[in-house]
Structure 1
Amino acid sequence: MIRLTEIKLPLNHAPEDLTTAITTKLKISAEQMASFVMFKRGYDARNKRNIQLIYTLDITLTDSNLTNDLLVQFESDNHVKATPDTSYKYVGEAPKDLTERPVVIGFGPCGLLAALTLAQMGFKPIIIERGNEVRQRTKDTFGFWRQRKLNTESNVQFGEGGAGTFSDGKLYSQVKDPNHYGRKVMTEFVKAGAPDEILFVSKPHIGTYKLVTMVEKMRAEIIALGGEVRFATRVDDLHITDSKVTGVTLNTGETLKTNHVVLAVGHSARDTFQMIHDKGVYVEAKPFSIGFRIEHKQSTIDQARFGDNAGNEILGAADYKLVHHCKNGRSVYSFCMCPGGTVVAAASEEGRVVTNGMSQYSRNERNANSAIVVGIDPERDYPNHPLAGIDLQRQLETVVA
């Protein structure tokens, strides 16, 4: 196949315009093209009066020799290349005499995909999740929001699906992905029931209600492949001999022997961070950001971004990104902007206030919200100890009576 990038067409173009754009670019007839697939669709809204859709397309021609000829002909054109192989390559296969199963700690996005991949390779992982399964966790979370009853082990941060289950379900980042690992994630999500469009829209998201069912289906596949999931169970100790992991002890008192542990505990498992540090595992303080969340009318953002095109179905609810570089060397920027969403309480410890933002798939709530944060770093703001950043977080989150 041939991949074309930066194909630009007007916002309200006709479907057949894509075929015309392909044949014009490659200088071929429509009969020479067997089919095409939309790999990516974004938009350029810098000119609100002339918003452009930007496509990346994969084209299959009727003649493989013609494909090779065109790739040679357009060799110097960076927007005409061979379609890369985005299929996932498994790094191994479990031995038939597997005696010790890998343990995955945490069942958020990282743990979920790690466990699924291990299961698909035949390793029958054991997943340990301190929170509840996703539907009970939903009840726990709504109990906190509506009745102010916090379950410190099952909440917005802890439980099946991770923090993203009660966030915007955003599925994009600015991290480069030369091996197309992200495609594996998207493909598994679609297989579990996510809308097909997440495979091609530039800023895909899913939303809580769709995510709940998807997470359940992915868990079912892991179990069907021989995996095991233990909810409401916490890892309280990590066994290390001669600098090698040999097992874990659970809060039930049970010890699981294993030589392989995937630590996928997320950003709020502060007691786990303390435990592994106490065990002598190297822990390094990293920069992060702190701030607050703002809320404003979605219609205002739509009008500011899209002008008269506000409300267009393809564009959907508008987002934004703000950045300011301060003279003192710090940067202030928007983060996790949630179009048509709500601000939600996201504490996992008693006596502390933490907020997050979330949008459902429709993104049709009246307001938008965004975090406004400032970057901080260990050397300047929390020196002397690798876990000092957690102390700073707790200080800022603590409710003062």
Structure 2
Amino acid sequence: MVRNMQLRVSLKEVEEAEEEKGLLQQKIAHRLGLSITEINFKILRKSIDARKPTIYFNYKLAVYTKGETLDKTEYTFDYRDVSKAKPIHIIGFGPAGMWAALRCLELGYKPIVFERGKNVQDRRRDLKAINQDHIVGEDSNYCFGEGGAGTYSDGKLYTRSLKRGDVRRIFESLVHHGAKEDILIDAHPHIGTNKLPKIVQNMRETILKYGGEVHFNTRVTDFIIKNNRIVSVILQNQNEVPVERVILATGHSARDIFELLHKKKVALEAKSFAMGVRVEHPQEIIDSIQYHCSGQRNELLPAASYSLVEQVKGRGVYSFCMCPGGFIVPAATAPGEVVVNGMSPSKRNNQFANSGIVVEINVDEDIPKYEHYGALKGLEYQKDLERLAFTSGGRSQTAPAQRLTDFVEGRFSSDLNITSYQPGLKSAPLHSLLPKLIGSRLRAGFKAFGEKMHGYYTAEANIVGVESRTSSAVTIPRNENLEHIEISGLFPCGEGGGYAGGIVSAAMDGERCAEAAVAGL
């Protein structure tokens, strides 16, 4: 009989064992009163408990005897030849658009994707241009291009959106396209910036193999709407493409799309979001706090992460997109703005840890001066802070920064710590530059975080501005059928529509929108 079993094993035990598998087998056999030769097992889930000085690994196992067979929950992806099938048009090729296209293959419809940016290989040149030459390509950058912002990110797969779709199916799809099976086991799985491009490329090749189309360097510039139905889209080369179903998966940074819809009086809604800074510590400091160690962490432990939240003056201040062993990167999508984000390689072996520390912005209460922008008020607020960062950073992709303790105590930093941020940092008085709405709450939040994690509040950390693209500041409203509330045939999707917050939730929403788009065809 196959049974699930929980095991708790100390770090010291794992360190002293010859191999992990053998140690687990011994413990299972001892608990069941069986010989080691009688049992098999499979690790279903693995996590670390480092809350106390003695660190434990927690395992969830499927255990069965040699004569038994472990039932497998097989995920099969029945992609069909859709070269002559009815088309579904998809705008955007980030996680939402990619999984929408893959789901179309399974449903027997031909995905035709329009992506404003370049493929993953060609995208690299534009990322180099941002980092080294401070040149921002408006259609190809850390946010736009094949795979969207998710391609050049940590590849974090943790999500709380467990009721929005089949999370396991998304993970299995990633494994099917080249991800390691570790993501099926780890409690907080990630893939890594260096591994994601190949997986993204494999997904594109699947779409093309089965008859779908992916058009790069193809920005949509207009929608033709007649009788409240979308009938065609206009591309940047002025070509008009007739459409019947459009999945709009352009991401939270495609501001031109929001502005276009607003200009055409298509219903939009302002959405609350969060903004702040990115804080960067030496990874060794975070390891020492989380693993109760001094010096280098045990080699069996991954680079330590953290998750922090504090309520300050009625608004949440919290960590966002924490990247252990990672880099801070320039995420601007237009000249004249500075935006920062974080990413990590698969081994998370860089010397720094960085995380967004952001403040909730309630668009109905916190930014009354922007009310005249209507549904775009949050977006315009974001823009203003990004322009502020550009100016205070020296009018390039150099980012304004301050030592953490100087920011909290209201002092200008005469010098800064070394950083992973390639375009460089410029000392700036962020404590006085940031709006009080954000700055005062961040200062109180950092003090509270220092009390929760002793050693976190340190002059060895920099804060870097601004972290402004945590989520969309606009919602494109849709009905229960996932179709726009006014425009038939238009299916707002993923982060840009306001319906996702990361790779997995965007992927699940992409699949749901594909299913909704083909219904009734």
Output the TM-score relative to the length of structure 1.
Answer: 0.85
Corresponding residue of 2:383: 394
Match of 1:4 in 2: 4
| SS of corresponding position for 1:176 | coil
**Equivalent of 2:22, from 16, 24, 32?**
16
Q: Does the CA-based 8 Å contact 1:88-1:184 persist in structure 2?
A: no
State the one-letter code of the partner of 2:379.
Answer: I
CA deviation vs aligned residue, 1:75-127 (integer Å, no higher than 9, x gap): xxxxxxxx89574798x98999734x001111111111211221233312011
**Mapped contact 2:49–2:57 kept (Cα < 8 A):** yes
* CA pair 58-242 structure 1, distance change in 2 beyond 3 A: farther
Q: Which runs of 5+ in 1 are unaligned?
A: 68-82
What amino acid is the match of 2:101? A
| 1:278, distance to aligned residue in structure 2 (A) | 3.2
Of 372-381 and 223-232, deviating more is: 372-381
Report if the CA contact (8 A) 1:120-1:225 is conserved: no
Task: Give 3-state SS (helix, strand or coil) of 1:213's partner.
Answer: helix
Within 5 A, what are the aligned runs for 1:37-56?
A: 37-48=42-53, 50-56=54-60
CA distance in structure 1 between the aligned counterparts of 2:83 and 2:349, rounded to whole angstroms: 51
Letter in 1 for 2:162: K
Equivalent residue number for residue 95 of structure 2 = 109
1:2 shift after superposition: 4.7
Shift of 1:246: 2.7
Structure 2, unaligned stretches of length 5 or more? 396-521
Higher relative contact order (CA 8 A, sep 6+): 2
In structure 2, the partner of 1:173 is: 159
The residue correspondences of 1:191-206 to structure 2 (distance < 5 A) are: 191-206=176-191
Identity over the aligned pairs, expressed in percent? 39
SS at match of 1:167: coil
Task: Supply the AA of the counterpart residue of 1:338.
Answer: C
Give secondary structure in 1 for the equivalent of 2:328: strand
Distance across 1 between alignment mates of 2:38 and 2:260: 59
Deviations 1:120-165 (A, max 9, x none): 3331201110011111111111111111121111001110111122
Offset at residue 202 of structure 1 (A): 1.5
Given the alignment, which residue of 318, 325, 336 partners 1:340? Answer: 325
* Separation in structure 2 between the aligned mates of residue 252 and residue 241 of structure 1, nearest angstrom: 22
2:85 counterpart letter in structure 1: L
- Bigger drift between 181-190 and 301-310 goes to 301-310
1:93–1:220 Cα change, 3 Å: closer
Between Structure 1 and Structure 2, how many residues are aligned? 379
Q: Is the 8 A contact 2:270 2:375 kept in 1?
A: yes
In the alignment, what sits opposite 1:79? none
Q: Report the Cα distance in structure 1 between the residues aligned to 2:3 and 2:273, rounded to whole angstroms.
A: 37
* Structure 1 residue 36: Cα displacement: 2.5
Task: Give yes or no for contact 2:29–2:36 (8 Å, CA) kept in 1.
Answer: no
Change beyond 3 A, Cα 1:287–1:32: farther
SS in 1 for 2:151: helix
The answer for the alignment partner of 1:149 in structure 2 is: 135
Is 296-305 or 55-64 further displaced after alignment?
A: 55-64
Q: Which moved more, 1:103-112 or 1:312-321?
A: 312-321
For 1:267 and 1:281, the matched residues in 2 are separated by 17
Structure 2 CA distance for partners of 1:107 and 1:96, relative to 1, 3 Å = closer
Q: How does 1:155-304 map to 2 (within 5 A)?
A: 155-177=141-163, 179=165, 181-304=166-289
Change (3 A) 1:31 1:293: closer
Q: Match of 1:35, SS? A: strand
Amino acid at match of 1:396: L
> Aligned with 2:195: secondary structure?
helix
CA distance in 2, matches of 1:375, 1:33: 55
Tell me, yes or no, if the aligned pair for 1:19 and 1:30 is still in contact at 8 Å: no
